[in-house]
Structure 1
Amino acid sequence: MSQLLPVVGPDSPETRSIITIQKVKVKDQHLTCEFIEQRSEEAPPRAFALTCTEQVHPDLTHALSRLVPHLCLLAEQLTETTDYWPDESEELPTLFEPFTVTGFSMGRNQGGVTLIGQRELAAGRVLNLTTPYQSFDDEQASYPYTGLLETTLATALVEVEAALRGKCTEYRQLDLFEQPATTNVLLVPTPPRA
């Protein structure tokens, strides 16, 4: 996995920088990300925490959903069956409906990951889940799908980088002062406050 991801902001040679993503969280469709940025490889690193005001693009939520099977295995919530792993193009099976990956935390030099998620319980309550740290260079291979996890996480990191560059859900905001032609508006003055 690439240790450094290029660029925050517009993709132009003047603003190109190198970032290392450390922590990602998506809450209420908004991305919060902690990362280290360097203007060049020789420049000193600067740490940032950024919360995007725009809603995340569906590609990012899709990339995070692909981490759900790993969350379930690493947190020992489900056991693997013959049809456990979905194809990339298909939606997750109903088996995974109660689960959501809400973020992740990268290890030093992006050599591993801790997944963070939730499980909706039958009564509607939420169980927060945090997996044990999973190293990508695990010599003892305690998790047999480390390579698949690393590849799936790389896709999520690409989407996080795209979100940091401005990829978000497009929405149309209505004009604040535009009034529909068929609506009559009566303005009533309010007395001044004392």
Structure 2
Amino acid sequence: MSQLLPIVGPDSPEATTSLITIQKVKLKDQHLTCEFTEQRTDEAPPRAFALTCTDQVHPDLTHALSRLVPHLCLLAEQLTETSDFWPDEAEELPALFEPFTVTGFSVGRHQGGVTLIGQRQLTGGKVLNLTSPYQSFDDEQATYPYTGLLETTLQAALAEVEAALRGKGTEYRQLDLFEQPATTSALLVPTPPRA
């Protein structure tokens, strides 16, 4: 469980906090859909919510989800690991990951594991939906060698989802519905009709 503040950002007040546990995350057309529980205090019972944000997500959230792509590829056995498989945090994903996207994830009870959900764009233009097997973070007999890295990457994605739930989104400006008439005048020159 993570604590959320009422306002996102470095100047957020330490006023009222709530405990939130994210269960499912889905990103479609740059809009976040999330299932989570919230507790106002430690003693209060959790309340369940399903929320779809109408604002477009911040690029930090899409970047955090893109960091899960190598894990999806390995867990779903779509690619094999190569020497340049793991990109640095700041750099873009290598070209071999271009057909893949992570569109969401499901977190296990007490954030003890995760199931990644994504897509692969096939060469014929069709989309293959991918779901990784559930990967436990506490499994001592883990067959996935990058469980610790997956957990760290997931925590970064969860932090961005929490920020999005508190209002972090893309900066955009609403355009006017109707154009305002121009104040400049135009000189009209009559032309004779042609037959």
Q: TM-score, normalised by structure 2?
A: 0.88
Q: Distance in 2 between matches of 1:19 and 1:166?
A: 15
Please list, as runs of the form range in 1=range in 2, the aligned pairs for 1:31-70 lying within 5 A after superposition: 31-70=32-71
The match for 2:189 is none
Matches within 5 A, 1:1-194: 4-7=1-4, 9-10=6-7, 12-181=13-182
Extract unaligned runs of 5+ from structure 2.
Answer: 186-195
Equivalent position of 1:188 in the other structure: none
In 2, the alpha carbon distance for the partners of 1:180 and 1:77 equals 56
Structure 1: tracts of 5 or more residues without a match: 185-194
Which is worse superposed, 167-176 or 130-139?
167-176
**Using the alignment, how far apart are the partners of 2:22 and 2:180 within structure 1?**
45
Higher Cα Rg, which structure: 2
SS of 1:71's equivalent in the other structure is helix
* Distance in 2 between residues matched to 1:183 and 1:45, nearest whole Å: 61
d(CA) in 2 for partners of 1:96, 1:147: 21
CA distance in 1 between counterparts of 2:68 and 2:57 reads 17
What is the CA RMSD across the aligned residues, in angstroms? 1.7
Q: Structure 2 CA distance, aligned partners of 1:183 and 1:82?
A: 63
Q: Is the 8 A contact 2:22 2:37 kept in 1?
A: yes
Compute the displacement of 1:178 (Å). 4.5
Sequence identity percentage: 81
The structure-2 alpha-carbon separation of the partners of 1:102 and 1:142, relative to structure 1 and needing over 3 Å to count, comes to same
Between the two proteins, the alignment pairs up a number of residues equal to 181
SS of 1:147's partner is helix
